[in-house]
Every structure is written in structure tokens, then in C-alpha cells.
Structure 1
Amino acid sequence: MLSYCTNVHPAEDLAGILAQLDTYAVPVREKLGQDRLGVGLWLASEVAAGLASDPAARRTLAAELKARGLAVQTLNAFPYGGFHAEVVKHQVYVPTWTDPKRLRYTLDCITVLGDLLPEDAAYGSISTLPLAWREPWSTSHDVRASIAFEEVTRVLRSALARNEQPIRLAIEPEPGCVLDTVADAVDWLAGRVDPEYIGLCLDTCHLAVSFADPARTVERIRASGLKVVKVQASAALHVERPGTDEAVAALREFAEPRYLHQVREQLPTGEVLAADDLPEALETLPAQGPWRVHFHVPLHATPASPLESTTGVLTGALDALAAQGPLPHVEVETYTWNVLPGHDRQELAAGIADELRWASLEVPA
């Protein structure tokens, strides 16, 4: 079941979440002519904690979702809260996997998802951050994060015994973080976690930014013994010649203040240079090779020239996964609708529906 991620909606209380679903998710379902629409819920930490402590509230939420024709098989537990604050930037990586708050939030999400899964769901998934932003991080942080994942695994085993539907945690590599690339995540996770309960969330925007080959990446994950638990179907910006006046002017329109937009440049030698945000890249990178920018752009819309979209990386990853067996959960995650340049925006429900139509044609059967 294809889903869209509700972290595009700013609500951080239960009443607000339901109102946003009424305003956007239900119209999306109706525009698509579907009886049931998959939604990947984002629950801020306070909402998750309240639901986790109140079985009746969880039953009510499950009934409200069903009444609206909405189904939840995945949660996005990467942002802890404040994801639509005026400035988010590095705050999205806080608390880290060394902080007990991150563990508590994740355990709350496990409790909630266990009561929201539809009966026909093969499993549930929860995506989370790649440990932390890269600094500060040390071997002692590795130990503390490993202990936290051991506790998550213990709880996931207990949840399976109760619910008969496995729930799996999906670590999401992201440029600039401790687990910057999928290769970093594989190296850190393999042999450290139980792959039946902890695997990877493959965000295809992040994958594209790293200039990694999607098919080789998918094979590397398989060979490691880890699993792709979830795919976040997303696309980055690509610009082949970033040093031209036209390219610089186009890129400046995406240099907005709320979210971090990491940039990677691939030199003719194959070396990849890094900048932590787009304004920094425009000032410091040499612009001698193509750029990839961590800005989730709508899947169905082609950016104005000279910018391009990396949807080819998304389709390449999905094809490689389909060749290995049944696809994992696929969640469209374009959270940036409200910070796109004005000429690239659509009415939100219409835009989400258009993305899901596009994805439904590209996701292998």
C-alpha cells in the first residue's frame, strides 16, 4: 500500500491532526477515487506519549482513521516536534539516539502503531534519524546508541508476541549525519542490530544527493544481511552546471530559512564535495561538477530549467528492490510544499494527489 507522509501538515495535537486529515487526506483519497488511502503518520512526541499512555485514545484514533478511509502501516518518528517552526535546520536531529528522550519517543510510537495497524498489514514500520548530526560523536556515543537499539529490539519482540504483526525500526541515512550515506549505515548497523527488527529506511532524495548508484546500493544492503524496511519516495534537485548565472539564480529561489538543504558536488575526478546548506554551497563550492541538493521536490513536477529532478534514482531503487522480492513500505515524503518557490506550489491536496498518481505508476507491481 502506497502512503503519503503527514509530516507535511503542521498539527502537533490530536485534534489538529484529525482536522488536517479531514482537510487534506480525505480529499486526496476522494481525488484518487480510492476506498482506502495509506497515510504515514507523523506524531509529535507529546501526541505519541499521550496516545501510548491511553489505550482508549488509541482505539478512538484507529476508529477515526477507519471512518475516514485511511490506513496506517508506517510512522515517521524522525522529527521529535516543532517540524514546522519558523527555523528547523539542525533541530530536526534532536534529541539524538544517545538521549533517553529519543528512546522514549520511539517506544511510544511502537505502542501506538501496534493498535493502528490494519489487519491485512504484513508488518508495521517506524522510520527514525541516523543517530545524530555528525558532530559531536564519539565511540562512547556509539555504545549508548547501541544500548538504546537493544532496548528497542526487546520491546519490538514483545510487541510481536502481543500483536502477531511485526513492527520494525528503519534507520534513515541522511547527508551530514553520523550515518551520512547508506554505506555508512550498513557498516554501522550490520552485526550490531537484529535485522529482523531493525533495518533501513531508504530515502531516495538522500540517496540521490550522495551520488550513489541505486541498484548497487540495494544490493549492498541485501549482501549485508540487513533489510530495507521502508522507502521514502522522494526526489532531490539536480543541476548539471551549477556555476552559470542562470543556475545560481534558480538555486537561490530554493535557499529558504526553515529546513537544512545539504548539497553535494561531484567533481570530474569522481570526488564528492560537501556543503551543509544551500546558501553555504553557493558561496563555497567550486561549481566544477554537477550538484545534488537535499530539497524534496514534488515527484510529478519537472523543475524549471536548468534544474532537474532525481526521480530516476527513485525508480532505479524501486526496480532493484522489486527484483529481490516484495517491495517494502513506500511512503511519498514531500514535506517541503510550503517552502517551495511560489511558482512551484499547488493547492496541497491536489499536489499530494498528483504525486501519488505519479508514484502509483512508477512503483513496480
Structure 2
Amino acid sequence: MLSAAGALARRGILVRRLDALEALAGIDTVVFDKTGTLTSDVMVLGQIRVRAGLDAQQAVAMASALARHSLHPASRALVEAAGPANNGWLASGVVEHHGLGLSALVYPDGVAGQTLPLRLGSAKFCGVPATDAAVMQVFLSDDKHWLATFELEEDIRADARETVTALKACGLNVCLLSGDVVAAAQRVASRVGIEAFKGQCSPQDKLDFLRDCQLQGHKVAVVGDGLNDGPILAAAHASFAFGQAVPLTQAQADFLVAGSRLTDIAGALLLARRTLAVVRQNLWWAAIYNAVCVPLAVLGMLPAWLAGIGMASSSLLVVLNALRLTQTRPWQREN
């Protein structure tokens, strides 16, 4: 196990629990989050639609006042679009509703008495009719009306399809769960080769999906990076988070991927399977050696010096067999 953990560490994958390697070896299903996992964690603000009488730049400034309090990629895109000045809008009493959005009192800088109760997030959270847009949308509303819709453009990671293909080649089922609308989830799923997907998932929906899979006897690994992925990561048999994930998500993950290579997920799985095979080989060797040599030593048919050499050689063989895990690149298959 230590040899495998060392090999993964050199590849930039930190193993937080050694027993997670054994769990990973038995996985038959992998569940991916969409935003920031299969897609790039950097989004760009695209089209903006606002209510009559509201300026688009002002809407972005108001939205970014809330977004500054979140680490979600969509929030970072709004903050980047508003710029460092933020046009003088501030927020107080900010509450982040996991998987839904943000709510707060927003007011112009220096005019704290004129506050607006705003919500930023999903259509359901903002009380806006859901749409079938194939792009990610974030909505802004006050306590009575819709104010603005922000369309965010996201790129699929270059190695996403390669990773999904590699996991399927290992005999795994691959699923996609997303909090975005179904059309956006379907667009990403079709481009990376995932047939099973669900959109508009709350953190509880994701957790229910995982538990249903587990009740059916599946061993599930989860890959995520958002705050709303924390519960499902904690409940999975094995879980991955990337280095740019929020701290709470990293704390729940069994494996932390320092880089942004999705292919490392497939590599870790292959190495976990090889590790378990080596452990079984070593256990069988130890059992056979003890079954043969211990009775001979008890009967006096095996000299003490020869028994000592045999024990040392057996231990050396076990260590050398384990060290094979450090020689083969874990993201490559053994022939």
C-alpha cells in the first residue's frame, strides 16, 4: 500500500487514506460532477439579459457583490466580469445555500440604509421559470421580480473524453450528475461519451442517487470539486477532489489530485487494482512458505541457519514484489 501511495504521490495524487486504495480497486461505477470537473474551472460571462429599466453593467455589479462570497466557478466569472472596483456595491448577511445559490442584502457603498434583498443562483432558487438552454445560466432576482440572467460559457477539459473512454475500457459504469439544467448536462455528457446523466440535482439528489447505487450492490467512486459535492464525496466508497477544489470538498475526499489531469483518475484506479493483486500475491506466498517451512523447522528437518536465510529471502521477495508498483506508470495498463 505504501509503495502504491508513493507512486501516486510522485504523479501528484495524495492518498489521504491507505484503505481507500483497497476500496478503489473494487469500484464498478464512477460518478462525475460537471462544472469544474469535466469542464474547465474557468468560466467566461457571455450574454446578459436584464429587466427593463436595469442596466447590464449595474446588474453584473450587483450580482458580483454576492458572488465575491462564493468559490463556485460561476461566481468567480461574475466577479471577474465586474472588475476589482465592483462599481461600489456591497453585500451583507450573505448566506450560501448549497447547490442553489446565494442570498444577501445588497446596497451601494456608503448608502447602507438603502438595501435590496437579492438572490443569485438557479432558476428555482430565484423563483424564475426554468429554461432548456444548453448553456449554464445564473439568475438574479429581488424579493419580488426577476432582475437578470447571466449566460456562462464553459469549456470541456481536453482529456475528459479520453478519461471516460479509459474508465469504460476498465469495465466501469460512468455517470454525470449536475446541478445545472438538463440540457446543459446533456450537452457535456454527449461530448465526453457519458450515456447516464442527470441535471438539476441538489446535493440531496446526488446523495440519493449514490445511495440507490449502493443499495443495488454497486461500488461507487465520486469525482467532484464544489461545496455541494461534499456529502456525496463523504458517502462514496472512494472519492477524488482536485487541488483547486474548495477546502471542505478536499477534506471529504480520499484522493487529492494536485494537477488538473482527469486521466489521473483512471491511472489511480489501474494502480489500485494492481496493488490489490500484489497484496494477494504476497499473502499467498507467505501462507505457502509458512505452511511448508514451519512444520519442517518444528520437526528438526530444517537447520536453523537455513530457516533464517529462508525467512530473510521470503521477506526480501515480498518487498521486491511490492516495489514493482513503483516501476510501472500507474496510468498505463499492464500487458
TM range (shorter): under 0.3
- TM-score, normalising length: structure 1: 0.25
Higher relative contact order (CA 8 A, sep 6+): 2
- TM-score, normalising length: structure 2: 0.26
Rg larger in structure: 2
The structure carrying a bigger strand percent of its residues is: 2
